Structure 1
Amino acid sequence: MMKADGSGERINLTNSGFSDDQPKWAFGGKALLWATDRDGKKPLAVQGASEVDIYAMFFDQEAYDKFKLTKDEFALAKEREDKEKEEAKKDTTNKIAPPKKGWEPTLEGLDNRKLRLTINSGNISDYLMSNDGEKLFFIARMEKGYDLWSTNPRTKETKLVAKLDGGPGGLDISKDGKSLFVVSDGKIVKVDAESGRVSPVTVNGEMVLRADKEREYIFDHAFRQVAKKFYDPKIHGVNWTKYHEDYARFLPHINNNYDFQELLSEFLGELNASHTGGRFNPAAAGGPQTGDNTSSLGMLFDEMWDGAGLKVMEVLEGGPIVNAKTKIKKGVVIEKIDGETIGADTDWARFLNRKTGKNVLLSLYDPETKTSWDEVTKPISQGEEQSLLYKRWVNNNRKRVEELSGGKVGYVHVQGMNDGSYRTTYEDALGKAVGKEAIIVDTRFNGGGWLHDDLVTFLSGKKYLQMAPQGERLQSSEPFNKWTGPSTVLMSESNYSDAFIFPYAYKSLGIGKTIGMPVPGTGTAVWWETQIDPTIVFGIPMVGTIGKEGRPTENLQL
């Protein structure tokens, strides 16, 4: 907290090593509310969703005393005030009054005027206190989606106000405190604070959009944002103003966002930095998606086959074809899909357009047994098939390491720098690779995130205790949750962002050797900014990392 005019010192109010955010004033500034992950469940890695609680801190002792009264104590205090003050008879809430002119916050003893308002931690997207302080409303996910909940700070009674079953949303309250407004999934709904009745808030209007002027604004905005926020105040020594002039002259000749994305990428590319460029996502505009969406059968086909139909080369493990009754195997030919014959020159992908999760009839022929039959399957999305192919690649790599090392070396692949990938790495290293003499940590094709410290800490384990029940020494030892053997990190040119920072840190700390191909220096933290046209996004690398060389790791090849 600091004075509004910027004078004086800045005061750290929470002084906590936990994540404290979403601060909101209450009671006219006599209290501050915030969300913290102090008591909630944490992800395995630092980067991941944590459960949070709502806390309150009071800058006024009298307000704190009144707020923490129990229901019975509050009723007695109200009765006493009613007798003492005639005007209090009109005030049935006995609420905490806003501060008077000249009031100053009391900063001493803040830790003793701090309260946890929620009774249990959860995935909370937004919250607010009712005008009288008698209810804390919050949007939280307890089941499938996010719903509106309330807690009475005095009685701790917590209940569901309205079942919304939506995505994480924002929350506001009417001046009279009787209505709540929730923004979720691009819609606004009004919720009665007492009954929980939900009614939509409809918005109708027209806008005359001059797309060329909007693109011009976004282009100029990108120029200004980079000038103010680029991690290097010298902007890598480039003449940023001159580049703005050079590229702006192309704007009048652009009439679509496909080309505008390219212009942004070329313009931002002059920075010679990672985490820049423009992106265009038509789906972000909303509305039904009517384009082609080809499903997959979860099989690999023989591309050298020149006959009619599709000759199966491999059935992917875990795919829709794998079941107890199927007779599909390598060498089987798919002759028809939903009755449509597949000729030698047929574009068979069109038979699977928008068929994900739907029953599809396959007509099959086995050249080996000379038999024909039909099977019904449900195709999967291309994303799901990519996941199957990824697992296949990892399993093949692990088998190859087992063969070449004679079973002495384990293998894990870190797919992304996030909590989910870390859980897989943790599971495989302390599971599949347990008892191995060493481990290969493969980071190739990893696009980044924020996991480097979790990984270097995990791989830096030093054995200091061995377990021995009744004198029998076990393989397990302390630390239980770290890899304590030798390791090496495999990397390639495709490592990006935090997938550069991790092998850089691993090598700098002397944990082990790095093998593979050189990695370009892309060690910055980015802010991807969605524009007023939500289909356009551009990136600004705002935070650099400086290692033992005493210079930014950006463009520092490893």
Structure 2
Amino acid sequence: MQNLKGVASGLLLFLLTACFAYAEEGRLMRFPDIHKDEIVFVYAGDLWLVPREGGVARKLTSHPGPELFPKFSPDGNSIAFTGVYDGNPDVYVIPTEGGEPRRLTYHPGARPSSGGVEIDDWVIDWYPDGKSILFRSSRESFPTSKLFHINLEGGFPEALRLPEAGLASFSPDGKRIAYNRKSREFRTWKRYKGGRAQDIWIYDPKTDGIERITDWDGTDNFPMWSGEKIYFTSDRDHKLNIYCYDLTAKNIRKITNHQEYDVKWPSLGPDAIIYENGGYLFVLDLIGEKTKKISVEIPAERILTRPNWEKISNMITDFSLSPSAKRALFCARGEIFTVPEEKGEVRNITQTPTIREIYSAWSPDGKWIAYLSDRTGEYELYIRAQDGTGGEKRITTDGNCYRFHPVWSPDSKKLLYSDKKLRLYYVDIDEREPVLIDKAGVSEIHDYAWSSDSRWVIYSKNNPAYFASIFLYSLDQKKVNQITGDLTDDFSPVFGPEGKYLYFVSARSFYPTFSDFEHSYVYRNTRNIYLITLQADSLSPFAPESDEEEGKEEDKDKEKKGKEEDKKKKDEDEGEEKPKDIQIDLDGIDQRIVGVPINPGNYAGLTAAKDKIFYLSMPAIYEPGSDSKPQNELHMYDVKERKDETILTGINNYDISKDGDKIIYRSGNTYGIIDAKSGKNKVGDGKINTDGMEMKVDPGGEWEQMFNEAWRLERDFFYDPDMHGVDWKMMKRRYGQLLPHVAHRWDLTYLLGELIGELCCSHTYVRGGTMPKTEHVDIGLLGADLEPDRKGGFYRFKKIYKGENWKDDRRAPLTEPGVDVKEGDYLITVNGKEVTYPDNPYAFLEKTVDKQVKIKVNDKPSADGAREVTVKPARSEYMLRYLDWVETRRRMVDEGTDGRVGYIHVPNTSLFGLNEFSRSFFAQARKEGLIIDVRYNGGGMIPDMFIERLERNLMSLWAPREGQIGRTPSVALFGHMVCIINENAGSGGDALPYYFREQGLGPLIGTRTWGGLVGISRRLPLMDGGSVTCPEFAFMNLKGEWDVENHGVDPDIEVDNRPDLVIKGHDPQLEKAIEVIMKKLKEEPKKLPEKPPYPIKK
């Protein structure tokens, strides 16, 4: 027994030694806090503790969901943090010594989830007495987030009166708060100086008084109140460093001087500030104001970096069909797979988990698969055997920018491809010398195809009017010819395999659709399919037909011809006939365009097989949310029979086999192979089993690949080739050295944000990616503000929000027909469970979204006499709170102007904003004036459509015998306008007020806008399903100057919505707008003429 004890002791000593031996110095430690001699931080999504002097860290949590923003309690015994444990961020508390985290909040926030990094229930700090926790949430407020406090023991969170707040810090006595009115800590935009630039303010909760103590035009954030000093971070010297504001002397001193990386996430302890810099932790001693790097060793678990097998059929990025339709070809998560139609195994033919392959294509002879790979650090074109055997063959060696999909020539000897520099190439797979076909001058070339004899290339290219024309390239002559004109929009060209016709889509069918509300029109469904006869002596396949009697000689000729055709078909079956050289007569080719006899529509995805063409009919989508399911229809048009048939509905896209007899389709995550013929086909028929698509994922290798690809994507797509003067290669080295320390996908998201943030540009976002999976537990919401009745012991409905119950996404659970709940009523039970103060009422609403829930309510705080009603809790209250905010201001304008002036809020410049604007504009266009409110506008599209309506002028009047005088235009304001703006209006919300002023529509009132006026046209996908965005174009004014970006649009009349006034129920900006427009109506009245006497014409 003694010997066994010795062995056990030795084994324990060995294990401990091994553990410490594999500890490494930590980097990418995030969100630190300090209390006396102990530090807490986040690493790999978990909480860790380490002594103030450094050393080996101790892990405190290990949940798959990330923990964020840890804060020591004033006594150091507890740590509050935000935990994403049930798919929802909430406030938790855990003992410093370890144990089970205790949940304090149960609210999903008012905002709908966007998949970004916006965190609700964000722990800010502890109250100095240690009895409550301060956190930030959007739960009660459109359109901003507020500060809340919640008791350490849980219960009901209550809001501070501040109408908007970001980061905050209590004064030592707890009587005042230093805070940022705005929050942008997760914005990936360095050196920002737009309207949302942060300053430090002091708020007195007792008097609601505020005082601004910094006024730098860049960033001043992370206030930390220590004694008579408020420390904060600022980018006054380019990089974020710590500064100090002396409350007595009222001056500012710079404390730290980091030159390479920003000071990130500083946090105040009793006698020190801890912060991140370059992924390391630093402690700033407040007595001597000296900073010291802390060396932290983290036991090398790094569980999330371990290679693991994953099914990836839900990550397919492109697909096609093998020539014989026996297999399907997929790209997924950077690998290339072939999957059998029915029998056989799934093959991963590349097996390079740390290298990305994209845009695969199967050669027509079935032997090769072509694809792009970034094996060299740039995308190059490769081919390899279709079964994955043997090595890959590199075809190009000149990669220096992003490239697009390769297309095989029918003889399987050449490949077409295009690139981001607007070039189109072909390359012979044996010679491997790319030949430049054309370089566009307007935009990228994406439509290109081969003739059946592999001697011609057809493609479309935009002209300066963004109308595309069809171009033809001869490999023999090395010459390009434009074959359609500049006055039509022609694209998606393909050759028919017989060599007789060229097919394409063109938007040349003009049938106006008139508005239901105004004398206006748009052109929809302008596209049709056309063909060109390639030989001058060829008849149109749609030439007039005539039934004629055939004589005996004709019968013999017909019989002879039939035998010849049968022999020809037999020869084709026995051995594939070599395609004949195609003759193309260019003279008069534009006069040989013939329309395919189908109705105009919204068509795309044109392909051709023998005597048949296939295309997608895509419905126009205008209603938000209506694009959630695939709606495209796949059609087949038989050219010989002149017959159009629907093959399949409800799909995204498709591909056809070489002979045109089989089709592969995609509908969401469903893929199937079916016969190319009409019938009762439905999604799910011929379903391919993609479950076998799995790969061994190497997270660390993936993260490195994605970092490098994101760097390349910005290099290739950013609108300024000089990258705003930033040394982009140096940035790659600077942030690339942190890559070995990435231990969680959130780390990579952060690192990519830091990298692209160096461009100092708006619209640089990082989204998505493969995160550790956590179950989402939804919380139902009742569409109401609750308040505790501490004496009565229940919760009272303080405010019930009204909705538009005829629309599901705007329904208000407590105002639906038959639901008898009133403001002032008490909530007594939820599904039979009594809800009493201080229980958190939202804890009773888990898993209730859109489900029938029985609640009991009463007009007194008692179960006696309570009435039961059935409600369906909503997922989000965002829309209800938005509608209430707008209606409150509409009433203020109506009452403040005696109904003479209308009010329109424009929430964004996308579909939602366009619809809300139109609903209000059509109804109020005959007012004497309009207040256009662009505050909190989230952007979207370029807003010229809004301005076109607002700037309309009356041209004439039309007087009937009875009734109201009519107008032309029928919907146009004859009156004055003003526009309200603030720092939360951005992108399209910057452009709208800019255009408003430039067109002379009226003054701008409020505060400077966000200042983000560059454009993105696509999200650039990364290997694991995440993405980055890249500004591809930037705003210029008509003087030839860059404008608005990183500054914003200045108001003509500056009015700040001061928190102390908003707390008292004021909206100073709106009140000023009412004052200004009423003055306009008085001093510059606009009156329509009265109806004159009727003419005498006897």
TM-score by structure 2 length? 0.45
Give the count of matched residue pairs: 540
- Tell me, what secondary structure is at the counterpart of 1:3? strand
Match of 1:557 in 2: 1048
CA distance in 2, matches of 1:419, 1:362: 36
Query: Counterparts of 1:225 and 1:477 in 2: how far apart (Å)?
Result: 52
CA contact (8 A) 1:37 1:51 kept: no
Q: Which of 946, 952, 963 matches 1:455?
A: 946
- Report the counterpart of residue 309 of structure 1 in structure 2: 794
Please say which of residues 222-231 and 146-155 is displaced more in the overlay: 146-155
| Residue of 132, 151, 165 corresponding to 2:610 | 132
CA distance in structure 1 between the aligned counterparts of 2:660 and 2:1012, rounded to whole angstroms: 50
Q: Quick check: 1:68 aligned with 2:559?
A: no
Which of the two has higher C-alpha Rg? Answer: 2
Structure 1 contact 529–537 (Cα < 8 Å) conserved: yes
Residue 371 of structure 1: SS of its match in structure 2? coil
CA distance in 2, matches of 1:544, 1:510: 23
Q: Distance in 2 between matches of 1:49 and 1:390?
A: 33
Q: Which moved more, 1:500-509 or 1:329-338?
A: 500-509
Match of 1:179 among 659, 662, 666: 662
Instruction: Report whether the alignment pairs 1:299 with 2:784.
Output: yes
Contact 2:508 2:527 in 1 (8 A): yes
Separation (CA, whole Å) in 2 of partners of 1:228 and 1:4: 30
In structure 2, the partner of 1:15 is 486
**3-state SS, counterpart of residue 671 of structure 2:** strand
Q: Could you say what secondary structure the match of 1:430 adopts?
A: helix
What is the CA deviation profile of residues 424-464 of structure 1, one whole-angstrom value per residue up to 9, with x for unaligned ones? Answer: 31231121x14311111111111212142111211111111
Q: Report the CA distance shift for 1:34/1:147 in structure 2 as closer, same or farther (over 3 A).
A: closer
Question: For the Cα contact (< 8 Å) 1:430–1:483, is it kept in 2?
Answer: no
The residue number in structure 1 matching 2:828 is 335
Which residue of 504, 524, 532 corresponds with 1:33? 504
Work out whether 1:242 is the aligned partner of 2:730: yes
Measure the CA separation in 2 of the matches of 1:156 and 1:506: 52
Q: Which residue of 2 aligns with 1:373?
A: 867
Q: Report the alpha carbon displacement of residue 187 of structure 1 after superposing the two structures with TM.
A: 2.2
- Which amino acid in the other structure matches residue 400 of structure 1? M
1:201 counterpart letter in structure 2: I
- What SS is found at the alignment partner of 1:56? strand
Which of 922, 926, 935 in structure 2 is aligned with 1:435? 926
CA distance in 2, matches of 1:466, 1:495: 37
Determine the C-alpha separation between the residues in 1 that align with 2:840 and 2:618: 47
**1:3 counterpart residue number:** 473
Which residue identity lines up with residue 848 of structure 2 in the other structure?
Answer: K
Report the alpha carbon displacement of residue 62 of structure 1 after superposing the two structures with TM.
Answer: 5.2
Closer, same or farther in 2 for the Cα pair 1:334/1:107, shift >3 Å? farther
* 2:663 counterpart SS class: strand
Aligned-partner SS, 1:175: coil
Give, in whole Å, the separation in 1 of the partners of 2:802 and 2:742: 47
- Write the distance in 2 (CA, Å) between the matches of 1:307 and 1:538: 52
The amino acid that maps onto 1:517 is T
- Please show how residues 55-94 of structure 1 align to structure 2 within 5 Å: 55-58=529-532, 60-61=534-535, 65-69=539-543, 87-90=564-567
Decide which of 702, 711, 719 is 1:231's aligned counterpart.
719
SS of 2:984's equivalent in the other structure is coil
Give 1:410's match in structure 2, choosing from 902, 910, 913.
902
Measured at CA, do residues 8 and 508 of structure 1 come closer, stay the same or move farther in structure 2, by a change above 3 Å? Answer: farther
Contact kept? 2:618, 2:633, Cα under 8 Å: yes
CA shift at 1:475, angstroms? Answer: 3.9
Q: Using the TM superposition, give the Cα deviation of residue 493 of structure 1 relative to its aligned residue in structure 2, in angstroms.
A: 0.9
Residues 1:518 and 2:1008 are matched in the alignment: yes
Question: What is the rounded CA distance, in whole Å, between the counterparts of 1:379 and 1:248 in structure 2?
Answer: 47
Q: Hey, what's the Cα distance between the residues in 2 that align with 1:269 and 1:206?
A: 34
Q: CA deviation at 1:112?
A: 5.0
Secondary structure of the structure 2 residue equivalent to 1:290: coil
**SS of the counterpart of 1:355?**
coil
1:185-236 CA distance string (max 9 Å, x none): 0221112222455210112233111111111111111211222221122211
* Residue aligned with 2:1029, SS: strand
**Aligned residues of 1:274 and 1:524 also touching (Cα < 8 A):** yes
- What letter matches 2:801 in structure 1? L
Seen in structure 2, the aligned counterparts of structure 1 residues 265 and 326 have a Cα distance that, compared at 3 Å, is: same
How much does 1:294 deviate? 1.3
Quick one: which amino acid aligns to residue 785 of structure 2? L
For 1:337-369, what per-residue CA distance to the aligned partner results, in whole angstroms no more than 9, with x for missing partners?
Answer: 112222323233232223222110102221189
Distance 1:43 1:23, change over 3 A: farther
Distance 1:32-1:177 versus aligned 2 partners, 3 A rule: closer
Alpha-carbon distance in structure 2 between the residues aligned to 1:148 and 1:9: 32
Structure 1, unmatched stretches of 5+, are: none
Which residues in structure 2 correspond to 1:190-229 (within 5 Å)? Answer: 190-194=673-677, 195=679, 197=681, 198-203=685-690, 204-229=692-717
**Aligned residues: percent identity?**
20
Matched, 1:464 2:464: no
Residue pair 1:41, 1:50 contacting (<8 A) in 2 also: yes
Q: CA deviation at 1:11?
A: 3.6
Residue by residue over 1:3-46, the C-alpha shift from the partner in whole angstroms, topping out at 9 and shown as x without a partner, is 3789766748353466x554444445941322648457779899
Q: 1:106 to 1:359 in 2, by over 3 A?
A: same
Does 1:391 find its partner at 2:883? yes
Letter of the structure 2 residue corresponding to residue 199 of structure 1: G
Q: Secondary structure at the match of 1:191?
A: strand
Contact 2:509–2:528 (Cα < 8 Å) also in 1: no
Post-superposition offset of 1:417: 1.1
Structure 1 match to 2:757: 269
Give me the whole-angstrom Cα distance separating, in 2, the residues matched to 1:274 and 1:464: 41
Shift of the 213–188 alpha-carbon distance from structure 1 to 2, 3 Å rule, reads same
| C-alpha spacing 1:482/1:128, structure 2 compared with 1 (3 Å) | farther
SS at match of 2:857: strand
Q: Deviations along 1:268-289, whole A, 9 cap, x unmatched?
A: 1111100003122669x9xx98
Distance 1:364 1:226, change over 3 A: same
Instruction: Give the drift of 1:307.
Output: 5.2
Structure 2 counterpart SS, 1:326:
coil
**Alpha-carbon separation, structure 2, partners of 1:299 and 1:514:** 34
- Cα distance in 2, alignment partners of residues 7 and 488 from structure 1: 60
Kindly state the Cα deviation for residue 119 of structure 1 after the two structures are TM-superposed: 2.1
Asked if residue 169 in structure 1 is aligned to residue 652 in structure 2, the reply is yes
Q: Deviations over 1:288-321 (max 9, x none)?
A: 9831221211222126767533310122112122
Whole-Å Cα distance in 2 between the matches of residues 206 and 271 of structure 1? 37
Report if the CA contact (8 A) 1:40-1:53 is conserved: no
Whether the 8 Å contact between 2:908 and 2:937 is mirrored in structure 1 is: yes
Q: CA RMSD in A?
A: 3.8
Question: What is the letter of the counterpart of residue 492 of structure 1?
Answer: N
Instruction: Indicate the SS of the match to 1:546.
Output: coil
CA drift of 1:255 comes to 2.1
With normalisation by structure 1, the TM-score equals 0.85
Please state how far the C-alpha of 1:246 moved relative to its aligned partner.
0.6
Structure-1 separation of matches of 2:549 and 2:606: 26
User: 1:329 and 1:499, CA in 2 relative to 1: closer, same or farther beyond 3 A?
Assistant: same
- Structure 2 CA distance for partners of 1:545 and 1:417, relative to 1, 3 Å: same
- From 636, 639, 652, the equivalent of 1:150 is 636
- Closer, same or farther: CA 10–271 of 1 in aligned 2, 3 Å: farther
